[in-house]
């Protein structure tokens, strides 16, 4: 029997679910999160509709309809490109948080099954509490 297995057999379980968190997120990550929150709200959609509604009558300010179309197409293409980059950042961080949550749940369930088989009620209750606290991990990242 290994040293780790013998210490678990004695009831002294040192394993804990550890979730690494980056305490100081990068400025770009904070900006991307704020931008993601903003563009996912109705206010952003309303602003977008207003910009298009205001843009429509400006056709009379340009001599050529091609210039008018080029300006709006360029602006919307650049905006779409930037939003995709920001939203990809948010999606990546969400995926990492989800994987950490699944890892924590898997580790906790493995510990629960192991301790339930052994009959250590106090340790089982502690692991149940750890499992319950791990459910909201992605919100804290």
Q: Are 59 and 65 in contact (CB under 8 A)?
A: yes
Q: What's the pLDDT score for residue 98?
A: 86
* Cα→Cα distances 6→51, 114, 116, Å: 69, 14, 17
Alpha-carbon gap, residue 123 to 13, rounded angstroms: 8
DSSP string covering 74-98 = HHHHHHHHHHHHHHHHHHHHHHHHH
Buried b (16+ CB within 10 A) or exposed e, 26-39: eeeeeebbebbeeb
Q: How crowded is residue 139: how many other Cβ atoms within 10 Å of its Cβ? A: 8
Instruction: Output 9 or 86, whichever has higher pLDDT.
Output: 86
pLDDT digits (tens, 9 = 90+) for 44-71: 999 989 998 998 888 888 888 998 899 8
Lowest mean pLDDT among 55-64, 104-113, 130-139: 130-139
Q: Region 22-36: what's the mean pLDDT?
A: 80
pLDDT digits (tens, 9 = 90+) for 1-15: 334 444 444 444 455
DSSP string covering 107-133 = HHHHHHHHHHHHT-HHHHHHHHHHHHH
For the whole prediction, is pTM greater than 0.85? Answer: no
Treating both helix axes as pointing N-terminal to C-terminal, what angle do 65-118 and 121-134 enclose, rounded to 10 degrees?
Answer: 180
Q: Are 46 and 40 in contact (CB under 8 A)?
A: no
Lowest mean pLDDT among 40-44, 73-77, 137-141: 137-141
């Amino acid at each position: 029997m290994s040293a780790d297995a013998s210490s678990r057999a004695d009831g002294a379980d040192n394993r804990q679910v550890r979730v690494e968190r980056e305490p100081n997120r990068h400025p770009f990550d904070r900006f991307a999160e704020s931008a993601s929150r903003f563009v996912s709200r109705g206010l952003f959609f309303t602003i977008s509709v207003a910009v298009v509604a205001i843009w429509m009558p400006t056709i009379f300010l340009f001599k050529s309809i091609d210039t008018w179309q080029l300006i709006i197409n360029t602006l919307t293409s650049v905006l779409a490109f930037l939003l995709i980059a920001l939203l990809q950042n948010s999606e990546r961080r969400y995926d990492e948080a989800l994987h950490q949550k699944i890892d924590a749940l898997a580790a906790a369930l493995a510990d629960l099954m192991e301790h339930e088989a052994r009959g250590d009620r106090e340790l089982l209750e502690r692991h149940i509490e750890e499992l319950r606290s791990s459910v909201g991990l992605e919100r804290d990242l």
